[in-house]
Every structure is written in C-alpha cells, then in structure tokens.
Structure 1
Amino acid sequence: MKTGILSALVLLLSLNINAQDPKKKEDIKAIKSMCGCYEVEFNFAETFQYSKDEKYVPSKTKYDYGLEWVELVEDQPSKIVMQHLLIVNDTMIIKHWRQDWEFENTRLYNFYKDTSWKYLTLDKNKVKGQWTQRVFQVDDSPRYEGSATWVHVDGRHYWENNTDAPLPRREHTIRKDYNVLNRTNVHEITKDGWIHDQDNIKIVRDDTGKDVILAKEKGHDVYKKVADSKCLAAQKFWKENAPLWKNVRDKWATVFARNKDLDLFDKVEKKPLYSYLFDLKPTATKAESDKIIDTFVKN
C-alpha cells in the first residue's frame, strides 16, 4: 500500500515538472529574444503633479532615440545575463544598463532610498515559476530588482513587476526634490522587437520610511530589431572589454553574497564609481577594479 502511494506521488511530481518545462522554455525564449541590435525610442512624460509648492517645475517631456546592442553574456538554465551597449554616432560605445534574469530566486536587494538597499529573502512558494529581473547601473552597481511571472496568453508575451528604484540617470543630476522612483515595469515581446513600458511614481522618502508622492510619470521605450550588422562596433567593443567587466561583475557578486543591507557612497573624491571604472584599460587586473569598488562600499 505504501509503495503504491509513493509511486503515485512520484508520478504526480514527474507530471508537474514536465508541465513546467514547456512554460519555462517559453519564458527563456521571451527573455533571450530581447538580445540583438535595436533602434530604440525613449519617451518620458510627467503626467500628474502633487507638490503643494506653487513654484514646482515638472520635468520636461523627453523624447530620445539611439542604437543599442544587447549582448547575451551568460546563458544558464535558470540564469540569463544581458548587457546593453549604446552606440553613439556609429562609433562611440557607452556601456549602458545590464539586466539579469534568475528563475525562482529567493534573494532580493530592495532599494530603500538615496544609495541604500535592504536585503530581503522571499518565500520559495511565492516565487514558484517566477523570474527575478535585476537591473544594474552602467558600473554594475545595483539599481532595482523584482520578481514576477512571465505571461504567455492571447498571443502576448509579457512580464510585469512593481518595485522601488533610484532616480533615473536622465534626472539624477537635475532633480533633488525626490529620492525614490517607484516603478511599474512591463517588458513585452512584440513582432518587431520589444517594449519597456513604465508607470512611475516620484516619491520623497524620509528617514522613517514615510513616503510623500511628488509626481507621476509615464515611460514608453520601444526597441525595434534591426540587422546585427548595424551594431558591429558594439560587438567589437564587448569582445575587447568583456574580461574587464566580468571582473567587475564577479566583485559585485561577492558583495551581494554577504546577504545583508547595502550602503554605497555616491562619490569618492568627487568622482562617481562609473568614472573610475570607465577610465580603466581593458587589460586592467581584477585587483585594480576590486580596489575601486571597495572604496564605494560603506558597510
């Protein structure tokens, strides 16, 4: 009798795993389809203002465009790493943001405010079938993370999550009146490429964690796929610089592996972290980049 029950349980477990595999494969296909060469439109508009200050000046509506290469850096069964490289004037390459995707992840660094992140552990039952998206700054320091389920229904393929984040780079140097951007991010795969849709809330958060909403914002970034040959300059750049940035990623991995709250310095000797790392030669040693990153970690 016991043997029969055990066999039934094994069969149910096997059926469940087999049922999950096609879904996970579809998730991976969607995530990896964001790689390649894209013409990108960046669109942001402040939609509602809640400030009681009569002199409040809303952010200007922003329209921008660019050519971007998304490099598949790491491809594992439960982890995918993709590096964005912005191409300016056909030849100048700017290391842009990075996105990591991890399946059924239970470790999260949740942005708090300013340059602080709170370490959280997630219930493994609540992240079943989900993917965590981790987004990193140009220097591979953290930006924001969130876990959600990829949805494949009615011909649509999308992932949606809400999480807190630092100020975007487009406002980091010009706005000092808020310190948290609450982001609802939607990544949707389309027949022409993919869309990054955003509904954002600009928040003033004090030291007690109390939030005051300053304004709301709509973001709509459209990635239109073009021939990979248009991004040859970025591909060449990455081949030359990949070892340097692997060292940087590995160093950050050791910092994150401490599994505790993280506080960073915004600047060291009046220079941001990306400025130091961008000044390094592709042949710089891991010891050199490790030393730089260590000076920016407070705790």
Structure 2
Amino acid sequence: MPEITRSAAAITLLGVLSMTAMAQSPNPDATFEQDREAILAMAGDYKVTFDFRETVPLTEGYTLKDPKLSGGYEIVRVIEDLGDFISLQHILVVGEEGEEFPIKHWRQDWTYEPAEVLSFVGGNAWEMRPVSEADADGAWAQEVYQVDDSPRYGAVGDWTHDNHVSQWTPPAEWRPLPRRDMTTRDDYDAVLAVNRHTITPDGWVHEQTNSKLVLDEDPNVLVREIGVNTYIKDNAFPVEVGDAYWAATQDYWAGVREDWEALEAAGAPFGLTMQGEPEALYQPLLALAGEVEDGAKTVEDAIAEAGNVIAEYTTTDIGTLEERVDRTSEKQDRAY
C-alpha cells in the first residue's frame, strides 16, 4: 500500500509540474503581439539626442576623439504594416522657430522570421544573407536605410520582454561609417556594431556598442565607441511640417524604394560605384522629392529620373573587399 501511495503521489506531482511548465511556457502568438507593440511604440513625435563617445583605444598611439553630441526634433511614422512586416520612416524637423523645414532621415524595416537579411560587406557594398530556420525562429530582422533609401545595415535578433522591459538586441554586424565620421576622417573602414532598441516610459532608446574597424591585410579595431540615441515623446514643435512633407512625397519615395528593393531581390551582391556617401547619388534623389512636393514634377516623372540616378551609381560588379575599401579622402569618390 505505501508503494502505491508513493506512485500515486509521484504521478500527481508530475502532473502538477507539467501544468506549471505549460503555464510558464510563452505563448508564441502573445509574444509576437508583444514584439509588434514594441516596434510600433517607436512611432511618434520626439525630441531626440544623439550622443557618441569613444571609450577604449585599441590601437597603439590612438588618441580618443572628442564626444559628438547633437539633437533636434523628429517624427517617426508607420508607412507600412503587414503584420509580419513593419516599416518606420524618420523625418527630422529643423530650423528656426517659424521657419522650420523637414529633412527625410533614416528608415527602419522590421521582418518577422526572415528568410534573409541585408548585410553590409564593406566598401559600400551589400548582400542578402540567408538566415537559418533556427536563427529566424521567433526573431525579427531590422534593416536600416539611409536618407535616399539606399541600404545601410541589417541584423536579426529576438525581442525580449523580461521584467517589463521590451528590448531587441542582435549579434554584432558590420555597418558603414556614420556620417559624423565619414565626412571628417579616413582612418577606419567599417563599424562592428551591436544595436539595442529599448522601449522606455517616455519613448525609446537606441544604444550602440561600436568597434571601429580598419580593414587592411590584418584587420584590427581602432577604438571602441558607445552611442546613445534618446527619443523622448514631445510634440512642442511643428509636427505638421514633417507630416505635410511625407503626405506630398510618400508615393515618390515608394517608387524609389522599389528600385532599391529590386537590387536586393536580384540575389547578387551589389554596391555603389563611389566610396563614402556620395552627394551625386543622394542629392538628386532628395531634390526630386522637393520638386514633387512643390508640384514642379509629377510623381511618375520623378520616379523615372530617380531610377536612372540609382542605376548610374550602383553596380553588381563589386570586386574584392581589398578593391572596394579605399580610406583616402582624395579618392573617396573614385569609381570601382
């Protein structure tokens, strides 16, 4: 009889443990919705601060550069939401009071359980990298695009919601030089970056841990940098300036995105025919948006002209990394 009692007790205990485990197991649908809520929470009106500080010199003789701090006002809008795909467009609102004007800023695209992800491969070139089923399971890809909708970088990671904090942290991935350095220095070639997005009670924060890479015959890290981009909810600025710009130009930019997406979909690595962040590419595309906004050019004509500009400054003949990387400023705009 005691043996039967012990067996019955064991079975009962196993049942309780099983029910507890089931209760504690995450609900995939609920987690997916939590992820979506976190991504969509980044849309809004914000006062923004961009704070970058070099912290650890890792090459002999290197001297840390001065911190770079800037900020302003920015709107972030959901421009597409397909459930498992969300696109957020950033638009800065700058200028003196009463004379504010919009500047199209970066874009972030989020894809649930992606089959591939945009990857920077150095020297203004990118490829679509396959994502394994294991890495894609429950994960989101974030792909980031520049002011002209040209590619910048991508990564795959999980959103977590532990301790009432929603955050997304991917593994380190290569990124092109940021504009704050690309226009002022030529001593490194790429950034190995971890980008963490965290939702806060007042908005959200984009934290970065960056290693600045020199890509020569013996690649090395020049220096480590910490970046904190803070988005605080604030509508005490003319939000309508940014919204009016997007209302007038969104169809044009949708056409521009299609041209860049065609390069990604083709499957081959592709790049820009100039090093750096060439004004010859982004200035005409932004100018065409201005003509559409002013009514000086139709959306259809502007998209056609933009396609010609993109075709002129892109290539699938990217060569080797050594051929692509050119850190000297006098050769920054040299074609491959």
Q: TM-score higher than 0.5 here?
A: yes
**Counterpart residue type for residue 198 of structure 2:** E
Equivalent residue number for residue 65 of structure 2: 59
Q: Could you tell which deviates more after superposition, 145-154 or 227-236?
A: 227-236
Name 1:5's counterpart in structure 2.
Answer: none
2:33 aligned to which of 25, 37, 51: 25
Q: In the superposition, relative to structure 1, how do residues 259 and 228 fare at CA in structure 2: closer, same or farther (>3 Å)? A: farther
Contact 1:266–1:272 (8 Å) recurs in 2: no
- Structure 2, unaligned stretches of length 5 or more? 1-25, 293-297, 317-336
Given the two structures, how large is their TM-score scaled by the length of structure 1?
Answer: 0.88
- Percent of paired sites with the same residue: 33
1:298 maps to a residue whose letter is T
Shift of 1:163: 1.1
Distance in 1 separating the partners of 2:237 and 2:85 = 27
Question: Structure 1 residue 114 and structure 2 residue 123: aligned?
Answer: yes
Q: CA deviation at 1:229?
A: 6.8
1:100 alignment counterpart: 109
- Is residue 2:170 matched to residue 1:173? no
- Change in 2 beyond 3 A, CA 1:48/1:272: farther
| Distance (Å, rounded) in 1 between the aligned partners of 2:41 and 2:79 | 14
Query: Where do 5+ consecutive residues of structure 1 fail to align?
Result: 1-17
How many angstroms does 1:297 deviate by?
1.1
Question: What is the alpha-carbon root mean square deviation over aligned residues?
Answer: 2.0
In structure 2, what is the equivalent of residue 132 of structure 1? 141
Match of 2:315 in 1: 298
1:227 aligns with 2:244: no
On the 8 A contact 2:128/2:264 being kept in 1, the answer is no
The residue number in structure 2 matching 1:202 is: 212
Q: Could you tell me which residue of structure 2 aligns to residue 188 of structure 1? A: 198
Count of aligned pairs between the two proteins: 278
- Partners of 2:280 and 2:89 in 1: CA distance: 20
Once the two structures are TM-superposed, the CA of residue 50 in structure 1 deviates from its matched residue by 2.0
Aligned residue for 1:159, secondary structure, equals strand
CA deviations over 1:50-99 (Å, ceiling 9, x no partner): 223x4x45332011111000011001111000110011125221110100
Q: Which amino acid aligns with 2:53?
A: A
Q: Report the Cα distance in structure 1 between the residues aligned to 2:236 and 2:139, rounded to whole angstroms.
A: 30
Match of 2:326 in 1: none
Deviation at 1:214, TM superposition (A): 0.3
Provide the TM-score with structure 2 as the length reference: 0.79
The structure in which a higher percent of residues are helix is: 2
Aligned mates of 1:156, 1:77 — CA distance in 2: 22
The amino acid across from 2:274 in the alignment is D
What's the offset of the Cα at 1:232?
Answer: 1.2
CA distance in 2, matches of 1:35, 1:266: 33
- Report the counterpart of residue 287 of structure 1 in structure 2: 304
1:216 aligns with 2:233: no
Give the counterpart letter for 1:146 in structure 2: A
Give the whole-Å Cα distance in 2 for the aligned partners of 1:135 and 1:264.
16
C-alpha deviations, 1:205-233, integer Å up to 9, x for none? 13x6x521100001011100123874111
Distance across 2 between alignment mates of 1:240 and 1:119: 31
2:78 maps to 1:72: yes
Per-residue deviation, 1:131: 0.3
Look up the SS of the partner of 2:256 in the other structure: helix
